Structure formats: structure tokens, C-alpha cells
Amino acid sequence: MKASAPGKIILFGEHAVVYGRPALAVPVTQVHADVEVLDSSRPGVWINAPIIDLHAELTSLPSDHPIASVILKLIQLFGFSQTPGLEINISSTIPVASGLGSGAAVSVALIRSLSSFFFHSLSDDEINIIAYEIEKLHHGTPSGIDNTVITYNVPVYFIKGQPIETFKTGKPFTIVIGDTGIPALTKESVGDVRRLWLKDTHYFENIFNEIAQISLIARRSIENGQPELLGELMDRNHALLQKLTVSSPELDKLVITAREAGAFGAKLSGGGRGGNMIALVEQARAESVASALISAGAKRTIITEIS
Ligand code: MEV
């Protein structure tokens, strides 16, 4: 039984979203995690995930292993005392630790394929709850935005703990994604921001409020068909993310390069410190911005249309 799940980018509001502010995220279907569950004649649950160099039987993995924890959770949910022999093949084109939601996408695809394999149908709401539990195991204090946008595979205007809201795009717009190629764990940048916030809550709350304003205006601009207004909002959001200390010289370099190559605006996307940045571009300029990013050191680029 096969299932897949897309990657994602955060357009506006990362980090502030952990503190209850709104954020906007969209799925990126050019990259995806794919899982296949097959019957196996040998006993045990065998997992092959070449992307993380994993070839192992379930019981040989620690129970909090990101993949094992999903499988164990479902075995418990389905009420199995013993599982039949299974082979689980996991592949993904989403770079690991890059801010594109690779972990959440693997969890969602794995939950989907295992539940279909065992004829235990789960709604998107149920899948999202399980994927969020897994995110909490591995990312400390996640907002839940990654698992939500990836599970429902629609643009989301996300506020932690509130029912999922999607948003419509009045006019399509083009985003170039540039990967620094530097792996960075979201857990670490989220933990660092928390430490700073605990030390100087007032200052950081103000930054989160400014980011919240940007997310609100961005949603309105997207829905009103004025995506050209997003460029300046991205620049402002990036400056605030720098104040949160989650940018890096490599991210800043790609952001500046994108602007110099004609993007309307650019910012880091996701946890930061490494991983990806995004730039808003005129469609006709997407290729030239992408190649400027490669010349400035990006390991790869993706051009995606938000519509
Ligand atoms: C990660 O994609 C987005 C962050 O805001 C963390 C979170 O929301 O859980 C940095």
C-alpha cells in the first residue's frame, strides 16, 4: 500500500506561531515523502529508509526513534498484540533538516500507508492529531503548523490550538525556494528562541506581535489578489527573524542575492539557521533569480506557483 505527502514552506510567521501568533504555510508538491507497506514472509517489521541510511527491524530501534515511534503508535492504536511480517519502504525527495517539513511528511505518509494497509481508515483530522503527537516527541514545542499543512495539503492560515483555516489566492504568485544546503534542526532554533524569550519576554513578545501583523496583512494581500505587496512584507519578516537570531550568514546572503536579482522580497523559511529561504518573484524572472541563487551558493532551488 503506497501513500505520499508533500513538503511545505512557511510564507510568514515562523517562530512567532509557536507563541500563538498566526502564520501562513503552503504545501510544496514538487517534493514529497513516499511510503510503501508490503506483506513480508519473514517475521518482524523491516524498515528501509535509504535517505537516512536506515535498514532495520522495528524492535532493534529505540521506541522514540522518529520512524519507529510512528509505527509503534499505530500498532497500539489498531490494538495489535502481534504484527504480521511487514516491509516498509520509505523514500523522500524532501531534504532532511531543511525547513521543508521532511519529518512531518514522512510521518503523514507512513500513517496513511499503514492505516490503508490494515483497512483502518483514518480521517485527515485523526492523521493530523497523530502526526502532531509525533512532532511533539521530536521537536520540543512545535506549533503544529508543519503537520497541519502537510496532512491537509492546502494553504493554511494557522493559529496554534485553533481549527484549521485555509486561504484562497486572489491571484497566483511565484516563489523561488533556495536551499543553503546547511542542515539545521528546528528543535534547536525553537529552543534558542525560547531561552531568549524567557530572558527578555517583553522585547520578544513585541517582535512576535510585529510578525503577527505581517501575517495578517499578508493574508489579506493574498486573498485580495495583491501578491506584489508581499515582497516588502517578506523583507520585514526576515529582518524580524534576524532579531530572533534564527538567520545565518548563508541565509542572509541568499536573501540579498534574490533581492539584487530582481525578487520583490525574500526571507528565510522554517526554523532557520540553515535550510531554505524563499523569494517572491515575477514569473518571468523565476529562472534568473534561481540561477543567481545557485551562483551565490544555493545547493538547489525549486520554483513553485502558489495558486
Ligand atoms: C517550522 O517549520 C516552523 C517553526 O515556527 C516551528 C513550529 O512552528 O513548530 C520554526
* Mean pLDDT of the residues in the chain: 96
Q: State whether the beta carbon of 67 lies less than 6 angstroms from ligand 1.
A: no
Query: Where does the pLDDT of residue 98 fall: very low under 50, low under 70, confident under 90, or very high at 90 and above?
Result: confident
CATH 3.30.230.10 domain residues, the chain? 2-158
Question: Residue 252 has which C-alpha cell?
Answer: 542572509
Q: State whether the beta carbon of 146 lies less than 6 angstroms from ligand 1.
A: yes
pLDDT at 96 over 90: no
Compute the CA torsion angle 247, 270, 244, 227 (nearest 10 deg): 90
Mean pLDDT in residue range 80-97: 91
Q: How far is the CA of 143 from the centre of ligand 1 (A)?
A: 6
- pLDDT at position 107: 97
Q: State whether the beta carbon of 277 lies less than 6 angstroms from ligand 1.
A: no
Q: 192 catalytic, yes or no? A: no
Residue range 242-261, pLDDT digits in tens:
999 999 999 999 999 999 99
Q: State whether the beta carbon of 271 lies less than 6 angstroms from ligand 1.
A: yes
Coil, helix or strand for 33? strand
pTM for this one? 0.95
Q: Which of 8, 12, 18, 24 to mutate to test the pocket of ligand 1 (most atoms within 8 A of CB)?
A: 18
Q: State whether the beta carbon of 14 lies less than 6 angstroms from ligand 1.
A: yes
CATH 3.30.70.890 domain residues, the chain? 168-306
Residue range 202-248, pLDDT digits in tens:
999 999 999 999 999 999 999 999 998 999 999 999 999 999 999 99
CATH topology of domain 2-158: Ribosomal Protein S5; domain 2 (3.30.230)
Mean pLDDT in residue range 49-69: 93
Residue range 23-48, pLDDT digits in tens:
999 999 999 999 999 999 999 999 99
Cβ neighbors of 14 (< 8 A, separation 6 or more) are 23, 145, 241, 268, 269, 270, 271, 272
- Which comes out higher in pLDDT, residue 138 or 116? 116
- pLDDT at position 140: 80
Quick check: 147 and 106 in contact, CB under 8 A?
A: no
CATH class of 168-306: alpha beta
Compute the CA torsion angle 247, 189, 19, 33 (nearest 10 deg): 100
Which residue out of 53, 124, 125, 146 is catalytically annotated?
A: 146
- pLDDT at position 82: 84
Using CB atoms within 10 Å of the CB of residue 203, give its burial: 0 to 12 exposed, 13 to 18 middle, 19+ buried. exposed
